[in-house]
Structure 1
Amino acid sequence: MTTRFGASALAHLIGFAILAAFAASRPSPGQAQSADLVLCDRLAADPADPDKPADVRGVAEIAAADVPTALKFCRSAAGGSRRALYQLGRAQAANQQMPEAVATYRKAADRGSSSAMVELGVLLATGHGIAKDDDQARRLFSRAAEAGNPRGVVNLAALSKAGGPQADPVKSRALLAKAAEANSAEAQYQLGLMMADGTGGPQDDVAARGLFEKAAGQGHAGALERMGAFSLSGRGGPQDKSAARAYFEKAAALGNDDARAALKRAECPYVIKDKRGNVVTNLCF
């Protein structure tokens, strides 16, 4: 264990030494801005941000050890990039600097960042770090949706279900289709769900499966689970139990609870229910 810790610590130090050397070697102000943005992207990019370049992977959550460095480089790059400004807000939120994060998200949203609109809308809808304001949250989600951000569309629909004006499912489907064409995995997944259910337009299992397959190819956990379910039942295409299991395993590895339940059902297919029909347990043989 001591050896592994030492190797990990050494790798961590080497990594930051490389970052420091990279930053120190920047030859001009214009190139300095670009280098800061590269480092900001590496540590704080949002995988679901439509502004993110395709070659930037992004991180679902900024690692605690990376927060100080992300704050530094994103702050430096924020003047010339709305993406970096949004990522600075993410770093501030990760550092529990909520007033600063809210202010930064507002600035990024004013500069057209649809992801900042979504994050600020979430804070307003939940009252986290700011006074709760559903009307303002709805306006932000609507702006993000109009900009083609799939999370804006989904959150607008969710807020509508919680009360207030209902989102137009036809319009939501059209907005998701636009984002799906831009290869957004989340939009492909959400549009697939609408097509599978016949929400906002005709029901189409084949098209839904095609969208799930595209999103699954990008590692989307929900789409992987849906591909497993569609492959298992033969819905929208050929039935393939081996492929279904592979999809479920990939989704489960990414934390999808429905996929984990599907794997358990496959291993333990006999269900014991109580007199009310509630599932008590699964039997494995």
Structure 2
Amino acid sequence: MRPFHHGAAFWTLGTLALAACGPAPAPKAPSSEDLATEDMGEMQPAAAPVAPAPEPPKLRLPCAENDLVGCTNGCNDAVVEDCVTLGAMYLRGDVVRTDPTRAVDLFRGACTSGSARGCMKLGDLYHDGTLKDDPTEEVTLYRKACDAGANRGCLAAGKAYLEGRVVGVDPVFAATLFTRVCERGNAEACLELGRLYNRGHGVRKDPARATTLFTKACQLGLDEGCLTADPSGEVAPPRQ
């Protein structure tokens, strides 16, 4: 009886199994779609370009009252207050030849653009009689200046309503305008308002309130307010 060799048997069985299974398949070459998919996976989205930060606006100081070139350039660049200053030059005639028509056009354009100074300059021309086409424009322009923040516009309009100059007398509205600018710290408006309270004109008569307003006018630096608050001149409140 021939001896049984275990190693040989295992070798023979392994060989038969491999033969039955056939040769191992060759690795599959990647297709073009696979390569495209890999490339897409490795690609990173492009970063959006960063826009440069806008430059801050350059600070532009108003032109000087005698700088004809600077004011002309500023006005041409739509710097409204430079147009007002330029108009004042044409009105004075000390830097450039006098041209009232040009001055009026510049003031009117500036006022239309919301310049309190422009409205005041134009209102003053109606007030002093330089412009006579429509006298009521004086008060209209002063009220526009007042609404744009000019204390003197409120004061001038209030006086016009108080005196009935080119408009109907309206002390109540005058008191309203004086109150507005007195609260802003305008000494003359406080003085005018105090007089109304002292007389009871347009407001209820209130001498104590009048004295308070005269004192405030004094404290704001108006000598007439000090004298009205204390006609003797012996007691003057401290100035602010």
Give the TM-score taking structure 1 as reference length.
Answer: 0.52
Q: Is the 8 A contact 1:205 1:235 kept in 2?
A: yes
1:268 aligns with one of 228, 231, 234: 231
Question: Are 2:181 and 1:215 equivalent residues in the alignment?
Answer: yes
Give yes or no for contact 1:148–1:176 (8 Å, CA) kept in 2.
no
CA RMSD of aligned residues (A): 3.4
Identify the residue that residue 140 of structure 1 maps to in structure 2.
Answer: 106
In structure 2, the CA distance between the partners of 1:251 and 1:168, relative to structure 1 (3 Å rule), is farther
Report the residue type matching 1:227 in the other structure: L
| In 2: Cα distance, 1:138 partner to 1:195 partner | 25
CA contact (8 A) 1:150 1:186 kept: no
Aligned residue for 1:54? Answer: none
In the other structure, the counterpart of 2:82 is 116
* SS of residue matched to 1:132: coil
Bigger Rg, which one: 2
SS at match of 1:232: helix
CA 1:254–1:265: 2 relative to 1, 3 Å:
closer
Structure 2 gap segments, 5+ residues each: 1-51, 236-240
1:192 is matched by which residue type in structure 2? G
Higher helix content, 1 or 2 = 1
**Structure 2 contact 123–141 (Cα < 8 Å) conserved:** no
Q: Is the 8 A contact 1:189 1:212 kept in 2?
A: yes
1:88 counterpart = 2:62: yes
Post-superposition shift, 1:77? Answer: 1.7
CA distance in 1, matches of 2:230, 2:177: 28
Structure 2 contact 123–142 (Cα < 8 Å) conserved: no
TM-score, normalised relative to structure 2: 0.60
* Closer, same or farther: CA 262–148 of 1 in aligned 2, 3 Å: same
Gaps spanning 5+ residues in structure 1: where? 1-27, 34-75, 79-86, 270-281
For the Cα contact (< 8 Å) 2:115–2:148, is it kept in 1? no
Aligned residues: 184
**Native 8 Å contact 2:120 2:141 kept in 1:** no
Q: Is the 8 A contact 2:214 2:228 kept in 1?
A: no
Shift of 1:208: 1.0
Say whether 1:225 aligns with 2:191.
yes
Q: 1:141 to 1:183 in 2, by over 3 A?
A: closer
Change (3 A) 1:227 1:164: closer
Rounded to whole Å, the distance in 2 between the matches of 1:141 and 1:266 is 39
Equivalent residue in structure 2 for 1:172, among 120, 124, 138: 138
